[in-house]
A and B are shown apart, each in its own frame.
Chain A
Amino acid sequence: MRLEKCWFCSSTVYPGHGIQYVRNDAKVFRFCRSKCHKNFKMKRNPRKVKWTKAYRRLNGKDMTQDATFEFERKRNRPERYDRSVTENTLKAIKKIDKVRVDREARHHSQRMKGKKAQVLREATKELEQSIHMVKAPAALQEDSSLTLPKIKVKVSQPTEDNRMLE
C-alpha cells in the first residue's frame, strides 16, 4: 500500500480513491478526485491554478524548503520488516507532523505580519466615513465620544431626551 500524491493538487491519494491515467509514454498521472482530473483534461497548468499546492509553493504562500520534507521522500527500496522500527516510525511520524505544522503556521504568520499600520489606517478611515451606519448623525453631534477627537462639539442642551428617542 502506498500513499500517492495527486498530480494536480498534490494532496495525498489514499487507497481506494481517485483515478490513475496512464499516457502512452508510460507516464502515470494520479488524481485524488474528479475535480483535479477534470482540470487536467482541460489542460490547465496546476502552477497557475490558485488552490493547488504547486501554485502556493511557487508564489511563496507555503513553505518550500524544510528539513521535514526530507522524511516524505519516495524511497524505492523495500525495508525489511522490523517491529521496533515500525513502532519508532509511527511515533516519529506524529512528531514530524507536529513540527511541520508548527513551522507552516509560523511561515504563515510571518507572511501576514507587517500590516498593523495599514489595518489601523483603514479602521480610522472607515470610522470617519461610515459611522452614520451605526449611529445617527444627530447623536454624534451631541456625544463627542462616538467620533474621533478632531470633531469639536459644543454641548448646550441635556442629551437624555435624544437618547430615549433612539
Chain B
Amino acid sequence: MAASNSSKLFSVGRSILGGLCNNSIGSIRSSSEMVQVDFLSQQQRTFIQMRTSLKVVDNSGAKKVMCIQALKGRKGARLGDKVVVSVKEAHSGGKVKKGEVHYGVVVRAAMQRGRCDGSEVKFDDNAVVLINKQGEPIGTRVFGPVPHELRKKKHLKILSLAEHIV
C-alpha cells in the first residue's frame, strides 16, 4: 500500500517520494525505478538527510562530511538550509579535524529548488560550507558556484567569499 502510494506520488513530484524515502520500502522502489530507466540516468534527487555524505567547498580543512541532522525540514535539508555534520575526511593540519561535529550550510544541492519567479535551479552535487553556531563560516574561501538563495537566509559572509553567484 505504501508502495502504490509512492508510485502515485512519483508522477506528482519526485521530491515528495524522496521525502517518503525514509523507510526502506520507498528507497527500494526508487532504486528499482532507477534501474528501469538507468540508461537515461533519471536519478531521483532528494533531500539531504541523516547519513548523506556531502562535499566541503571551503578551506576549513574538512573534505568529506556526513549529515547527522537537518535542522528545519521534516524530510530533510535543501539548498540554503543549515545542517549538523560530522567530519569524515579532513586535510591534515586544517582548522577542523576528523570526527568533529559542526554546523554547515548547504550551498549546492542536486535536488532542484524552486525560485520565486517560478523557475527551478539544480546543481551537480551536494556541497556544504562549515559554519559555527553563530552562522559565520569557519573557512576563509569558498569554491565553486553558490546560489543567491543564501542572501535570503542571511549568509551574507559566504556570498561575499563566493567566486561565482548563480
Docked Cα-Cα span, A117 to B118, in Å, equals 53
Interface segment out of the listed A10-18, A70-78, A87-95, A129-137:
A10-18
Q: CB distance A24 to B123 under 8 Å?
A: yes
Given contacts A22-B145, A26-B145, A26-B164, contact A16 B120 (CB under 8 A): no
Q: CB distance A28 to B125 under 8 Å?
A: no
Where chain B touches its partner, the secondary structure class is: loop
B144 contacts A by Cβ under 8 Å: yes
Interface residues on A, range: 10 to 19
Docked Cα-Cα span, A101 to B123, in Å, equals 37
Docked Cα-Cα span, A16 to B41, in Å, equals 25
A23 contacts B by Cβ under 8 Å: yes
Within 8 A of A (CB), among B92-144: 108, 112, 117-125, 144
Q: A41 — which chain B residues lie within 8 A by C-beta?
A: 40-42
Q: CB distance A20 to B119 under 8 Å?
A: yes
How many residues from B make CB contacts under 8 Å with A?
20
Q: CB distance B40 to A23 under 8 Å?
A: no
B166 contacts A by Cβ under 8 Å: yes
Q: CB distance A16 to B117 under 8 Å?
A: yes
Docked Cα-Cα span, A27 to B153, in Å, equals 24
Residues of A within 8 A of B (CB): 1, 13, 15-24, 26, 28, 38, 41-42
Residues of B within 8 A of A (CB): 40-42, 108, 112, 117-125, 144-145, 147, 163-164, 166
